[in-house]
Chains A and B, each alone.
Chain A
Amino acid sequence: MLTRLANPTRFVRLADRLLPWLIGAMAIAFVVGLVWGLGFAPPDYQQGDTVRIMYVHVPAAWLAMFGYSFMAVASFVALVWKHPLADVAAKAAAPIGAGFCLVALVTGSLWGAPMWGTWWVWDARLTSMLVLFFLYVGYIALWSAIDEPERAAKAAAILALVGAVNVPIVKFSVDWWSTLHQPSSIMRMDGPSVDPTILWPLLINALAFQLYFVVVLLWRMKAELITRRVRALTLGLAAREA
């Protein structure tokens, strides 16, 4: 599968065939998730309607962590096996992950203000999430700081891999250190501890965010492949004229 997809033409053809379905499913999931979460899911008996922030905060935070993990795996594949699409995928994922990391941070702050009585605390979960955001920004900056794509890809991949150590720290920070942030209530060994009336709209929103990630990732990967082809063609033309 991965070897077959190493051919960019084949990859673009597959992406073009998948994209309309992905976009359709994403639109449905977004509408259902939003209407359910905002309109029909019950308010929390302690937190009232602020609990609705969860329907964007939690999927955004999951996606921020998933995006970085994806980037790290793709970077590893790029460094070790030199798969021609791996560094394209890693580069394309970074701005999406960074965007959702920012959403998770700001919506967390907007949730924390009324419920914890503070916009921000320097505790393990919040700080490691902020570090994740800076890692994303550093990764994007590194790509744009080096002109030559091959060298930029290598440097960025190493940064992505070193930074990957932060992902489990984000995930387990709520278990390892005392924090204001609540511990995991969905991804637990003994199953979710959340009522189905809240769990379902949350999962549908998470699905919508995930589909969005794939759609935008495919767009960005296609754009990157085309840009590289333009670069190759331009260099070829210049070489011929010289």
Chain B
Amino acid sequence: MDKIADFLAMGGYAAFVWPSFALTFLVVIVLGVTSRRALKQAQARLDLLEQSRPARRPRAGQGRAA
């Protein structure tokens, strides 16, 4: 238990170390999630458009969202 408390205390610098990691984590998550969501939405819009027109050979940007 003491070990965990020691770890969390970061030698008395918890107030500086943890917010640094938290902000980094937040930026990583937000950038990743918004970028991915934009990709899915664009793909859905394209799929909808493709359905409403006659089939043609596959063109740019039709790869599935990975």
- 0/1 string, B23-66, CB within 8 A of A gives 1: 11001101110011011001101100100010000111111111
Question: Across the interface, do B61 and A8 meet the contact criterion of CB distance under 8 Å?
Answer: yes
Residues in A neighbouring B17, C-beta threshold 8 A: 49-50, 52-53, 110
Residues of B near A20 (CB, < 8 A) are: 66
Q: Does A28 contact B (CB under 8 A)?
A: no
Minimum C-beta distance from B27 to chain A (A): 5
A9 touches B31 (CB 8 A): no
The CA-CA distance from A49 to B7 in the complex, in Å, is 10
How many pairs of residues, A versus B, come closer than 8 Å at their CB atoms? 120
Instruction: Find the B residue at minimum CB distance from A12.
Output: B63
Count of chain A residues with a beta carbon within 8 Å of a chain B beta carbon: 49
Chain B residues, Cβ within 8 Å of A233: 46, 49, 53
- Chain B residue total in the interface (Cβ 8 A): 36
Whether the pair B10, A223 counts as a contact (CB closer than 8 A) is: no
Question: In the bound complex, do residue A49 and residue B10 qualify as a contact, i.e. CB atoms below 8 Å apart?
Answer: yes
Contact (Cβ within 8 A) A48 B11: yes
Q: Is the CB of B63 within 8 A of A222?
A: yes
Are B11 and A220 neighbours in the complex by a CB distance under 8 Å? no
B1-34 contacts to A (CB < 8 Å): 7, 10-13, 16-17, 19-21, 23-24, 27-28, 30-32
Question: Nearest Cβ in chain B — how far from A209, in angstroms?
Answer: 9
Contact of B49 among A15, A43, A215, A230 (CB under 8 A): A230
Instruction: Kindly state the separation between the CA atoms of A102 and B24 in the bound complex, as whole angstroms.
Output: 9
**Given A9-B59, A230-B49, are A223 and B28 neighbors across the interface (CB < 8 Å)?**
no
> Of the candidates B20, B31, B39, which one forms a contact with A226 in the assembled complex, judged by CB atoms under 8 Å apart?
B39
Taking a contact as CB atoms under 8 Å apart, the answer to whether B32 and A216 are in contact is yes
**30 residue pairs bridging A and B, Cβ less than 8 Å apart:** A8-B60, A12-B62, A19-B66, A38-B7, A39-B7, A48-B11, A48-B12, A49-B12, A53-B17, A53-B20, A56-B24, A57-B20, A100-B27, A110-B17, A111-B20, A114-B13, A212-B28, A220-B38, A220-B39, A222-B39, A225-B60, A226-B42, A226-B43, A226-B45, A227-B45, A228-B61, A229-B46, A230-B42, A233-B46, A237-B53
Q: Chain A interface (Cβ within 8 Å of chain B)? A: 7-9, 12-13, 15-16, 19-20, 34, 38-39, 43, 48-50, 52-53, 56-57, 60, 95-96, 99-100, 102-103, 106-107, 110-111, 113-114, 212, 215-216, 219-220, 222-223, 225-230, 233-234, 237
- Interface of B toward A, CB cutoff 8 Å: 7, 10-13, 16-17, 19-21, 23-24, 27-28, 30-32, 35-36, 38-39, 42-43, 45-46, 49, 53, 58-66
